Structure 1
């Protein structure tokens, strides 16, 4: 697989609260940072666009258990837990997309009313490559919406992790049925760090 100038690599929510020790830690999440850095290096070298999304929730967000939502409080705007993973090496020109900032609305997909679809179409993007967290929540929602928006959509399995194994397996089936290309990639043996 190789990137081109009409591609976009989208790194979803590689934030501290989703990694080891975080409020909503996902098993194995820390292990994908080097693989994502490798993908970022390859995308940048090829002139592809790099996008990174982040949950940026206000206190009392609708998704939090205290308001009847499915999740513990996480990625509160400006908190340590909302910061990107310490090992994530984003280029200076990466586009940062903030989502989940409306108190009463959740946004699993990076394309959900963020303007990203229009930005990518505007620069002639044809293919999108998704990685990050979590496979069975935000990666899933983003991939399905990307296909609906007309992008050739690839999900990099070696650079994502699900919240549950069953959820991950169901998501892979759903994405495949939707025409999304599931890239199994290399084993998690990369040690790529920030340059």
Structure 2
């Protein structure tokens, strides 16, 4: 059976990491050594994604009126700009990963020289976009990153996901990867969550969708290593 694996590194950016990140994930930087090890492996395609928002993005609490504009706490209803009958409830965040700011940069310790492509997401100010593939709207989808096309054009069969944050952008990237037809694995040790208590729900979603949670010494990682033999 064909095995053409890709590594997708989600949003390993300054704003998602201590010490100065606007939306820092606890211990976020600690995933980088393992991700760098993964980048040394012979994945057919290695992609890093970046949250890359305009300053007036709808996910920023600062762009909503008080009193319901508290970062991390407030929720907002976001309506599909192309279909008023479709809407989602979404959490509001501090301003983060604004285009052209230091917070939007990939971490300097990440071996970006080993990455084949950098995919930017979240540029449409009207929609939230946790997934590195597309926004969550279905009727119709509003914004796509081009990630699916990159993977399909390379004939990828298996997608391995790492990065930040485990319960948001990694989660929805993995779920969309399955929808795109890829056998999808999340490398657990190479991710960190915003809210560890929320990971039970994430793992239940993975189980239902067919996403496999693996560790660095899994059989599938060994299979990637053998591609260079």
Query: What TM-score do the two structures reach when normalised by structure 2?
Result: 0.75
SS at match of 2:113: coil
| Structure 1 runs, 4 residues or longer, greater than 6 Å off | none
What is the CA deviation profile of residues 67-99 of structure 1, one whole-angstrom value per residue up to 9, with x for unaligned ones? 245100000001000000121002355211100
Which of 57, 65, 69 lines up with 2:53 in the alignment?
Answer: 57
Tell me by how many angstroms 1:173 deviates. Answer: 2.0
SS at match of 2:56: coil
Residues 12 and 164 of structure 2 are in contact (CA less than 8 Å); yes or no, is this contact kept in structure 1?
yes
Residues 166 and 192 of structure 2 are in contact (CA less than 8 Å); yes or no, is this contact kept in structure 1?
yes
Q: Which runs of 5+ in 2 are unaligned?
A: 65-90, 135-143, 218-229
Distance 1:5 1:91 in 2: 24
Tell me by how many angstroms 1:5 deviates. Answer: 7.1
Query: What TM-score do the two structures reach when normalised by structure 1?
Result: 0.87
Tell me by how many angstroms 1:177 deviates. Answer: 2.1
Aligned twin of 1:148 = 179
Residues 5 and 49 of structure 1 are in contact (CA less than 8 Å); yes or no, is this contact kept in structure 2?
no
Aligned twin of 1:10 = 8
Residues 99 and 114 of structure 1 are in contact (CA less than 8 Å); yes or no, is this contact kept in structure 2?
yes
Cα root mean square deviation, aligned? 1.6
Residues 57 and 75 of structure 1 are in contact (CA less than 8 Å); yes or no, is this contact kept in structure 2?
yes
Distance 1:47 1:167 in 2: 30
Q: More displaced, 48-57 or 62-71? A: 62-71
> Is 1:170 matched up with 2:201?
yes
Residues 47 and 117 of structure 2 are in contact (CA less than 8 Å); yes or no, is this contact kept in structure 1?
yes
Distance 2:3 2:49 in 1: 20
Distance 2:215 2:200 in 1: 13
Distance 1:36 1:172 in 2: 21
Distance 1:175 1:111 in 2: 17
Distance 1:170 1:92 in 2: 33
Which of 98, 122, 141 lines up with 1:100 in the alignment?
Answer: 122
Aligned twin of 1:192 = none
Distance 2:183 2:216 in 1: 17
Aligned twin of 2:192 = 161
Which of 129, 139, 152 lines up with 2:170 in the alignment?
Answer: 139
Q: Which runs of 5+ in 1 are unaligned?
A: 187-195
SS at match of 2:38: helix
Aligned twin of 2:88 = none
